Amino acid sequence: MTQQPSFSERLLSWFDEYGRTSLPWQRDKTPYRVWVSEIMLQQTQVSTVIPYYTRFMSVYPSVKDLAEARLDDVLSLWTGLGYYARARNMHRAAQIVVNDLDGELPKSVEALETLPGIGRSTAGAIVTLGHGGWAPILDGNVKRVLARFHAIEGWPGKADVLATLWEASEAHTPMTRTGDYTQGIMDLGATLCTKSNPGCLYCPMSIDCKARIGNRPADFPGKKPKKALPVRATVFLQCMDAEGRVLLERRPPTGIWGGLWSFPQIEETAALADWLSDNGLTATKNATVQSRHSHTFSHFKLDITQIMCPIAATSSRIGDRGNRRWFTIVEALALGLPAPVLKILNTLTAKD
C-alpha cells in the first residue's frame, strides 16, 4: 500500500504549482521587507495592502529610513489602512533595531518578540521568509486551514484552542523549504481554504481533511461568542477660519487613533459655547449640525455628530497651542488621519 504524502509534502507540491510568488514583498526579499508586509497584512487583505506597501517602501526602503522618519509622516502613509497601533509600534521597533541592534532584525522568534508589535506568528514569518530559518506560524489563514484539517473545535481566541493549533502548526512545519511551506499554507488559506465557499475539490488536503469528510468546513474555526457592540457618541467640531483653514488636534499617543490628527471633540453639542470660550475662539455665526457618521471598531461603534463652526480670524491664532493647530485642507490631507476625518476633509475639498 502506497503511503500518503505528508501534509507538508502535499502543501509544497501544491505551492510549486499554484503558490503566489510575485507579490511586492516577495521581490528583493529582505527581513525588513517581510516584516513591513507582515505587519500590514495583520487583519488586512492582500489586495488592500499592496498599494500601501508599495508607497511605504518607496518612502522608507530600509529600516534606517523608517527609524529616522517623523511619526506624523509614517502615520500619513498609513491613513486608511486602520489599526494604527501597528504603525506606531513598527516605528518604535525600527528605532530599537537601528539604535540597539546594529540595524539588523533578530534571527530568533524569542528576540523578535521583544520588539513592539511583533507577536509569535509575525516573528515566525520573519524568521522563515526573511532569514531562511525554521519556525511555525499561525495567522488567520493558517488557523483556518489547521482547524479544518484536524477538526479542532472551539474559538481560536480561547487559550486551549490556540495551544492546540500551535501544536498542529509546529508538527506540520518541515525542517526543509520552511519558507516555501510558510508562504504555501498562507496561500492555501487565502485562495482555497477560504472563510466562505472553500474550494475543497481542488485542495491537496481534501482526502483526509476532517472538516471536509464530515461536511463541516463552515464550522471551523469556531466562531467568537457574539455580543452586542456598545455604542459611544462624540461630536466633531469642524472649526474653520476666514482663510478656510481647519483646526485639528493630535490624539494622545495611545488609545483609539493614537498619534493621529483629528477634529476637536466634545461629548455633546450643548457644550460647544463653553468649549469655544475655554479655547479663546469666537464664532462668526451660529454653528450648524452637518451629516452624521458612524465608525465601527473591533470592540465598539462610534456615532459621530459633525458641527460646522465658522471662527473669527482674530481668534484663529489662539488655537495654535500644544497639540492643536490650524491647517489648510491640503496640509491636513498630508497628515496621519482617522478614516472618518479623512472622509470629511475630502468632502470639503470636493466643495471647493
What string of DSSP letters covers 300-323?
-EEEEEEEEEEB-HHHHGGG-BTT
Sign for the pseudo-dihedral over CA of 312, 314, 319, 325: positive
pLDDT of residue 293: 86
pLDDT of residue 349: 72
Residues in a beta bridge with 270: none
Catalytic-labelled residue, pool 38, 110, 113, 170: 38
Rg (CA), the chain: 24
Which stretches does DSSP call E strand in the chain? Answer: 231-240, 246-250, 261-262, 265-266, 288-296, 301-310, 324-327
97/42 Cα distance (integer angstroms): 21
Predicted TM-score (pTM) of the model is 0.84
Torsional class of 144: left (φ above 0), alpha (ψ -120 to 50), beta (otherwise): alpha
pLDDT of residue 350: 59
CB 112 within 8 A of CB 105: yes
38 is catalytic: yes
* Peptide bond just before 61 cis, omega within 30 deg: no
pLDDT of residue 34: 98
Phi then psi dihedrals of residue 105, to 5 deg: -70, 135
pLDDT of residue 2: 60
Domains and CATH numbers, the chain: 7-219 (1.10.340.30), 231-351 (3.90.79.10)
> Read out DSSP for 146-189?
HHHHHT--S-TTSHHHHHHHHHHHHHH--SSSHHHHHHHHHHHH
41/39 Cα distance (integer angstroms): 5
pLDDT of residue 348: 81
pLDDT of residue 298: 82
350/352 Cα distance (integer angstroms): 6
pLDDT of residue 323: 87
Per residue in 95-143, pLDDT tens?
A: 999 999 999 999 999 999 999 999 999 999 999 999 999 999 999 999 9
- Pairing type for strands 301-310 and 288-296 reads antiparallel
Phi then psi dihedrals of residue 218, to 5 deg: -70, -15
pLDDT of residue 254: 86
59: cell is: 518612502
pLDDT of residue 322: 72
pLDDT of residue 65: 98
The segments of the chain whose pLDDT lies below 50 read none
Provide the residue count of the chain.
352
